[in-house]
Amino acid sequence: MLTLLNQILPVILDVVPNEFYARGLAYIGAGIAVFTGFGSGIGQGIAASKAVEAVGRQPEASGKITTTMIIGQAVAETTGLYGLLIAFILINK
Amino acid sequence: MMTQILDYLKNLPGYFYTSLGIMAFIAVISIIVGIKVKKMDVRQTPSKFMTLFISLVEFYNNMIKGYIGKHWKFVAPVTLTLAIYVLLSNISGVFALDSPTRYTSITFSLSIASFIIVQTTGFISQSWRHLLGLFKPLAPMFPLNVVSELTPIISMSLRLFGNVASGSVFLVIVYRGAGWLSIFIAPAFHIVFDIGFGFIQAVVIVLLTIIFASNKVSESDFAK
Protein backbone atom coordinates (compact mmCIF):
# COMPACT_ATOMS: atom_id res chain seq x y z
CA MET A 1 0.00 0.00 0.00
CA LEU A 2 2.77 2.41 0.99
CA THR A 3 4.79 1.62 -2.10
CA LEU A 4 1.74 2.32 -4.26
CA LEU A 5 1.23 5.65 -2.48
CA ASN A 6 4.89 6.53 -3.02
CA GLN A 7 4.50 5.83 -6.71
CA ILE A 8 1.34 7.89 -7.08
CA LEU A 9 2.14 10.92 -4.88
CA PRO A 10 4.87 12.50 -7.05
CA VAL A 11 2.57 12.19 -10.04
CA ILE A 12 -0.16 14.05 -8.16
CA LEU A 13 2.10 16.76 -6.78
CA ASP A 14 3.88 17.50 -10.07
CA VAL A 15 0.63 18.02 -11.90
CA VAL A 16 0.60 20.89 -14.41
CA PRO A 17 -2.68 22.84 -14.72
CA ASN A 18 -3.21 22.52 -18.48
CA GLU A 19 -6.52 22.18 -20.33
CA PHE A 20 -6.80 18.44 -19.60
CA TYR A 21 -6.45 19.19 -15.90
CA ALA A 22 -9.47 21.53 -15.96
CA ARG A 23 -11.47 19.00 -17.96
CA GLY A 24 -10.71 16.22 -15.50
CA LEU A 25 -11.74 18.38 -12.57
CA ALA A 26 -14.98 19.23 -14.41
CA TYR A 27 -15.72 15.49 -14.75
CA ILE A 28 -15.06 14.98 -11.03
CA GLY A 29 -17.42 17.89 -10.30
CA ALA A 30 -20.08 16.27 -12.50
CA GLY A 31 -19.71 13.07 -10.49
CA ILE A 32 -20.15 14.99 -7.24
CA ALA A 33 -23.16 16.88 -8.63
CA VAL A 34 -24.99 13.65 -9.51
CA PHE A 35 -24.67 12.72 -5.82
CA THR A 36 -27.76 14.92 -5.17
CA GLY A 37 -29.74 11.86 -6.29
CA PHE A 38 -28.88 10.35 -2.88
CA GLY A 39 -31.30 12.61 -1.00
CA SER A 40 -34.10 12.56 -3.53
CA GLY A 41 -33.86 8.75 -3.72
CA ILE A 42 -34.32 8.48 0.05
CA GLY A 43 -37.28 10.89 -0.13
CA GLN A 44 -38.97 8.92 -2.90
CA GLY A 45 -38.46 5.68 -0.98
CA ILE A 46 -40.07 7.17 2.14
CA ALA A 47 -43.04 8.39 0.06
CA ALA A 48 -43.50 4.94 -1.52
CA SER A 49 -43.29 3.13 1.83
CA LYS A 50 -45.88 5.44 3.40
CA ALA A 51 -48.16 4.94 0.37
CA VAL A 52 -47.90 1.17 0.76
CA GLU A 53 -48.84 1.49 4.45
CA ALA A 54 -51.80 3.71 3.54
CA VAL A 55 -53.07 1.25 0.91
CA GLY A 56 -52.74 -1.57 3.44
CA ARG A 57 -54.83 0.40 5.92
CA GLN A 58 -57.45 1.61 3.41
CA PRO A 59 -57.43 -0.48 0.20
CA GLU A 60 -60.49 1.26 -1.33
CA ALA A 61 -58.62 4.60 -1.62
CA SER A 62 -55.68 3.11 -3.57
CA GLY A 63 -56.32 5.19 -6.72
CA LYS A 64 -56.13 8.53 -4.94
CA ILE A 65 -53.14 7.43 -2.87
CA THR A 66 -51.21 6.37 -5.98
CA THR A 67 -51.85 9.69 -7.73
CA THR A 68 -50.78 11.68 -4.67
CA MET A 69 -47.68 9.52 -4.26
CA ILE A 70 -46.64 10.03 -7.90
CA ILE A 71 -47.10 13.80 -7.62
CA GLY A 72 -45.08 13.96 -4.42
CA GLN A 73 -42.33 11.79 -5.84
CA ALA A 74 -42.11 13.94 -8.96
CA VAL A 75 -41.76 17.09 -6.87
CA ALA A 76 -39.09 15.43 -4.72
CA GLU A 77 -37.28 14.26 -7.85
CA THR A 78 -36.78 17.85 -9.05
CA THR A 79 -33.95 18.41 -6.57
CA GLY A 80 -32.05 15.45 -7.98
CA LEU A 81 -32.67 16.68 -11.51
CA TYR A 82 -31.04 20.03 -10.69
CA GLY A 83 -27.87 18.10 -9.83
CA LEU A 84 -28.16 16.20 -13.11
CA LEU A 85 -28.47 19.53 -14.95
CA ILE A 86 -25.27 20.82 -13.31
CA ALA A 87 -23.57 17.58 -14.36
CA PHE A 88 -24.68 18.09 -17.98
CA ILE A 89 -23.32 21.65 -17.92
CA LEU A 90 -19.98 20.51 -16.44
CA ILE A 91 -19.55 17.66 -18.96
CA ASN A 92 -19.99 20.03 -21.93
CA LYS A 93 -17.49 22.50 -20.44
CA MET B 1 -34.97 39.57 -46.56
CA MET B 2 -36.38 36.52 -48.34
CA THR B 3 -33.02 34.74 -48.28
CA GLN B 4 -32.73 35.37 -44.55
CA ILE B 5 -36.14 33.82 -43.95
CA LEU B 6 -35.27 30.87 -46.19
CA ASP B 7 -31.96 30.35 -44.37
CA TYR B 8 -33.79 30.43 -41.07
CA LEU B 9 -36.32 27.87 -42.28
CA LYS B 10 -33.58 25.61 -43.67
CA ASN B 11 -31.58 25.58 -40.45
CA LEU B 12 -34.44 24.72 -38.10
CA PRO B 13 -33.46 21.94 -35.68
CA GLY B 14 -34.84 18.42 -36.11
CA TYR B 15 -36.96 18.37 -32.99
CA PHE B 16 -38.94 21.32 -34.35
CA TYR B 17 -40.17 19.16 -37.24
CA THR B 18 -41.02 16.34 -34.82
CA SER B 19 -43.07 18.79 -32.77
CA LEU B 20 -44.87 20.04 -35.89
CA GLY B 21 -45.56 16.47 -36.96
CA ILE B 22 -47.04 15.57 -33.57
CA MET B 23 -49.26 18.67 -33.67
CA ALA B 24 -50.43 17.78 -37.19
CA PHE B 25 -51.19 14.22 -36.03
CA ILE B 26 -53.25 15.51 -33.08
CA ALA B 27 -55.05 18.00 -35.34
CA VAL B 28 -55.97 15.35 -37.93
CA ILE B 29 -57.23 12.90 -35.31
CA SER B 30 -59.27 15.56 -33.51
CA ILE B 31 -60.81 16.84 -36.77
CA ILE B 32 -61.83 13.28 -37.71
CA VAL B 33 -63.34 12.72 -34.25
CA GLY B 34 -65.14 16.09 -34.39
CA ILE B 35 -66.73 15.32 -37.78
CA LYS B 36 -67.81 11.87 -36.58
CA VAL B 37 -69.32 13.34 -33.41
CA LYS B 38 -71.33 15.84 -35.46
CA LYS B 39 -72.72 13.12 -37.71
CA MET B 40 -73.51 10.78 -34.83
CA ASP B 41 -77.03 9.38 -34.56
CA VAL B 42 -78.73 9.17 -31.20
CA ARG B 43 -80.46 5.87 -31.93
CA GLN B 44 -77.37 3.94 -33.07
CA THR B 45 -74.64 2.59 -30.81
CA PRO B 46 -71.27 4.29 -31.46
CA SER B 47 -68.38 2.32 -32.98
CA LYS B 48 -65.41 1.09 -30.91
CA PHE B 49 -63.20 3.95 -32.18
CA MET B 50 -65.73 6.54 -31.02
CA THR B 51 -66.43 4.78 -27.71
CA LEU B 52 -62.74 5.07 -26.82
CA PHE B 53 -62.73 8.84 -27.29
CA ILE B 54 -66.12 9.38 -25.68
CA SER B 55 -65.14 7.48 -22.54
CA LEU B 56 -61.75 9.27 -22.40
CA VAL B 57 -63.34 12.73 -22.60
CA GLU B 58 -66.07 11.73 -20.12
CA PHE B 59 -63.51 10.46 -17.60
CA TYR B 60 -61.32 13.53 -18.01
CA ASN B 61 -64.23 15.99 -17.64
CA ASN B 62 -65.38 14.28 -14.44
CA MET B 63 -61.85 14.47 -13.03
CA ILE B 64 -61.60 18.21 -13.84
CA LYS B 65 -65.06 18.88 -12.33
CA GLY B 66 -63.82 17.41 -9.05
CA TYR B 67 -60.81 19.75 -8.98
CA ILE B 68 -62.04 23.01 -10.53
CA GLY B 69 -65.80 23.07 -9.89
CA LYS B 70 -67.94 25.45 -11.92
CA HIS B 71 -65.42 26.75 -14.48
CA TRP B 72 -64.24 23.35 -15.75
CA LYS B 73 -65.12 24.21 -19.37
CA PHE B 74 -62.06 26.43 -19.75
CA VAL B 75 -59.54 24.10 -18.12
CA ALA B 76 -60.57 20.70 -19.51
CA PRO B 77 -59.81 21.09 -23.28
CA VAL B 78 -56.57 23.02 -22.79
CA THR B 79 -55.06 20.60 -20.29
CA LEU B 80 -56.20 17.55 -22.29
CA THR B 81 -54.37 18.97 -25.34
CA LEU B 82 -51.29 19.56 -23.17
CA ALA B 83 -51.48 15.98 -21.88
CA ILE B 84 -51.79 14.42 -25.35
CA TYR B 85 -48.96 16.55 -26.75
CA VAL B 86 -46.55 15.80 -23.89
CA LEU B 87 -47.42 12.09 -23.93
CA LEU B 88 -46.93 11.72 -27.70
CA SER B 89 -43.69 13.70 -27.72
CA ASN B 90 -42.28 11.63 -24.84
CA ILE B 91 -43.20 8.39 -26.62
CA SER B 92 -41.83 9.56 -30.00
CA GLY B 93 -38.37 8.27 -29.01
CA VAL B 94 -39.72 4.75 -29.67
CA PHE B 95 -40.31 5.63 -33.35
CA ALA B 96 -36.66 6.77 -33.74
CA LEU B 97 -37.72 10.43 -33.74
CA ASP B 98 -35.93 13.26 -31.94
CA SER B 99 -38.32 13.78 -29.05
CA PRO B 100 -39.12 17.52 -28.58
CA THR B 101 -39.35 17.39 -24.78
CA ARG B 102 -35.61 16.57 -24.67
CA TYR B 103 -34.89 20.26 -25.29
CA THR B 104 -35.38 23.09 -22.80
CA SER B 105 -36.86 25.46 -25.40
CA ILE B 106 -39.93 23.24 -25.85
CA THR B 107 -40.39 22.36 -22.17
CA PHE B 108 -39.96 26.00 -21.15
CA SER B 109 -42.72 27.10 -23.54
CA LEU B 110 -44.95 24.28 -22.24
CA SER B 111 -44.48 25.42 -18.65
CA ILE B 112 -45.17 29.06 -19.62
CA ALA B 113 -48.42 27.80 -21.18
CA SER B 114 -49.28 26.03 -17.93
CA PHE B 115 -48.53 29.25 -15.98
CA ILE B 116 -50.92 31.18 -18.28
CA ILE B 117 -53.62 28.50 -17.77
CA VAL B 118 -53.28 28.77 -13.98
CA GLN B 119 -53.46 32.59 -13.91
CA THR B 120 -56.35 32.73 -16.41
CA THR B 121 -58.33 30.30 -14.28
CA GLY B 122 -57.82 32.64 -11.34
CA PHE B 123 -59.02 35.65 -13.34
CA ILE B 124 -62.07 33.79 -14.69
CA SER B 125 -63.07 32.62 -11.22
CA GLN B 126 -62.45 35.78 -9.15
CA SER B 127 -62.06 38.51 -11.83
CA TRP B 128 -59.72 41.31 -10.60
CA ARG B 129 -59.91 40.09 -6.99
CA HIS B 130 -57.50 37.34 -8.09
CA LEU B 131 -54.69 39.93 -7.82
CA LEU B 132 -55.54 40.45 -4.13
CA GLY B 133 -54.37 36.87 -3.56
CA LEU B 134 -50.80 38.16 -3.82
CA PHE B 135 -51.33 40.10 -0.57
CA LYS B 136 -53.18 37.23 1.10
CA PRO B 137 -51.93 36.45 4.58
CA LEU B 138 -50.24 39.85 5.11
CA ALA B 139 -49.42 42.76 2.80
CA PRO B 140 -45.59 42.56 3.30
CA MET B 141 -45.69 39.00 1.88
CA PHE B 142 -46.09 40.43 -1.66
CA PRO B 143 -42.54 39.76 -2.98
CA LEU B 144 -42.51 36.21 -1.61
CA ASN B 145 -45.88 35.49 -3.23
CA VAL B 146 -44.65 36.80 -6.60
CA VAL B 147 -41.59 34.54 -6.41
CA SER B 148 -43.72 31.53 -5.47
CA GLU B 149 -45.99 32.20 -8.46
CA LEU B 150 -43.04 32.36 -10.88
CA THR B 151 -40.78 29.50 -9.71
CA PRO B 152 -43.13 26.70 -10.99
CA ILE B 153 -42.25 27.85 -14.53
CA ILE B 154 -38.59 26.92 -13.99
CA SER B 155 -39.14 23.82 -11.88
CA MET B 156 -41.83 22.37 -14.19
CA SER B 157 -39.76 22.83 -17.35
CA LEU B 158 -36.59 21.44 -15.77
CA ARG B 159 -38.47 18.44 -14.35
CA LEU B 160 -39.80 17.40 -17.76
CA PHE B 161 -36.49 18.15 -19.49
CA GLY B 162 -34.41 16.31 -16.89
CA ASN B 163 -36.49 13.15 -16.92
CA VAL B 164 -36.63 12.80 -20.70
CA ALA B 165 -32.99 13.86 -21.26
CA SER B 166 -31.64 11.46 -18.62
CA GLY B 167 -33.64 8.62 -20.19
CA SER B 168 -32.28 9.38 -23.64
CA VAL B 169 -28.68 9.65 -22.35
CA PHE B 170 -29.10 6.26 -20.68
CA LEU B 171 -30.45 4.77 -23.94
CA VAL B 172 -27.43 6.14 -25.85
CA ILE B 173 -25.16 4.39 -23.32
CA VAL B 174 -27.10 1.14 -23.80
CA TYR B 175 -26.87 1.35 -27.61
CA ARG B 176 -23.12 2.15 -27.53
CA GLY B 177 -22.33 -0.50 -24.96
CA ALA B 178 -24.38 -3.38 -26.31
CA GLY B 179 -23.48 -3.06 -30.01
CA TRP B 180 -25.55 -5.39 -32.20
CA LEU B 181 -26.89 -7.12 -29.05
CA SER B 182 -29.00 -3.99 -28.44
CA ILE B 183 -31.64 -5.58 -30.71
CA PHE B 184 -32.49 -7.80 -27.74
CA ILE B 185 -31.60 -5.49 -24.85
CA ALA B 186 -32.84 -2.06 -25.96
CA PRO B 187 -36.65 -2.70 -26.17
CA ALA B 188 -36.87 -3.28 -22.41
CA PHE B 189 -35.09 0.03 -21.74
CA HIS B 190 -37.33 1.76 -24.30
CA ILE B 191 -40.42 0.51 -22.44
CA VAL B 192 -39.13 1.80 -19.10
CA PHE B 193 -37.53 5.11 -20.11
CA ASP B 194 -39.69 6.24 -23.06
CA ILE B 195 -43.16 4.84 -22.39
CA GLY B 196 -43.15 4.40 -18.59
CA PHE B 197 -41.40 7.59 -17.52
CA GLY B 198 -42.98 9.51 -20.42
CA PHE B 199 -46.48 8.55 -19.27
CA ILE B 200 -45.69 9.41 -15.64
CA GLN B 201 -44.25 12.81 -16.61
CA ALA B 202 -47.26 13.64 -18.81
CA VAL B 203 -49.56 12.80 -15.86
CA VAL B 204 -47.41 14.84 -13.48
CA ILE B 205 -47.23 18.05 -15.54
CA VAL B 206 -50.99 18.04 -16.21
CA LEU B 207 -51.99 17.16 -12.63
CA LEU B 208 -49.68 19.86 -11.25
CA THR B 209 -51.25 22.41 -13.61
CA ILE B 210 -54.75 21.38 -12.49
CA ILE B 211 -53.82 21.46 -8.79
CA PHE B 212 -52.21 24.92 -9.09
CA ALA B 213 -55.31 26.10 -10.97
CA SER B 214 -57.64 24.67 -8.31
CA ASN B 215 -55.80 26.72 -5.68
CA LYS B 216 -56.81 29.89 -7.54
CA VAL B 217 -60.53 29.05 -7.69
CA SER B 218 -62.69 30.79 -5.09
CA GLU B 219 -64.55 28.61 -2.58
CA SER B 220 -68.05 29.58 -3.78
CA ASP B 221 -67.50 28.03 -7.23
CA PHE B 222 -67.45 24.50 -5.86
CA ALA B 223 -71.09 24.73 -4.75
CA LYS B 224 -73.51 23.46 -7.36
Give the Å distances, CA to CA, from A55 to A11, A43, A73, A80. 58, 19, 16, 27
Mean pLDDT (whole number) for A11-36: 79
pLDDT by residue for chain B (224 residues), tens digit each? 888 888 888 888 888 888 899 999 999 999 999 998 888 888 888 888 888 988 999 999 998 888 888 888 888 999 999 999 999 999 988 888 888 888 888 999 999 999 999 999 888 888 888 888 888 788 888 889 889 889 989 989 999 998 888 888 888 888 898 888 888 888 888 888 889 888 988 999 999 999 888 888 877 777 65
pTM above 0.80, yes or no: yes
| Residues of B in Cβ contact (< 8 Å) with A70 | 200, 203-204
Residue B55 lies in a domain: yes
Nearest CB neighbour to A81, from listed B162, B207, B211: B162
Residue B14 lies in a domain: yes
Listed by number, the residues of chain A in 1-60 with a beta carbon closer than 8 Å to a beta carbon of chain B are none
Would you call A92 exposed, middle or buried from its count of C-beta atoms within 10 A (0-12, 13-18, 19+)? Answer: exposed
- CATH, domain A44-93, list 1.20.120.350, 1.20.20.10, 1.20.810.10, 3.10.180.10: 1.20.20.10
B155 contacts A74? CB cut-off 8 A: no
Q: Which domain does B143 fall in, by range?
A: 2-218
Nearest CB neighbour to A78, from listed B155, B207, B211: B155
| Number of separate domains in chain B | 1
Res B39: pLDDT: 86
CA-based nearest distance A51→chain B, Å: 17
Q: Residue B192 carries which DSSP code?
A: I
CA-based nearest distance B223→chain A, Å: 22
Residue B160 lies in a domain: yes
Would you call B157 exposed, middle or buried from its count of C-beta atoms within 10 A (0-12, 13-18, 19+)? Answer: buried
> Using H for helix, E for strand and C for coil, what is the string for B52-114?
HHHHHHHHHHHHHHHHHCCCHHHHHHHHHHHHHHHHHHHHCCCCCCCCHHHCHHHHHHHHHHH
Res A17: pLDDT: 61
Amino acid, single-letter form, for residue B220 = S
Residue B224 lies in a domain: no
B159 contacts A74? CB cut-off 8 A: yes
Residue B32 lies in a domain: yes
A71 contacts B200? CB cut-off 8 A: no
A71 contacts B211? CB cut-off 8 A: yes
Give the Å distances, CA to CA, from B36 to B29, B40, B55, B100. 11, 6, 15, 30
Give the Å distances, CA to CA, from B104 to B153, B156, B164. 12, 11, 11
Q: What is the number of other CB atoms lying within 10 angstroms of the CB of residue B132?
A: 9
pLDDT tens digits along B149-197: 899 899 899 999 988 888 888 888 888 988 888 888 888 888 888 898 8
Res A15: pLDDT: 61
A81 contacts B203? CB cut-off 8 A: no
Mean pLDDT (whole number) for A28-35: 90
Residue B187 lies in a domain: yes
Res A19: pLDDT: 66
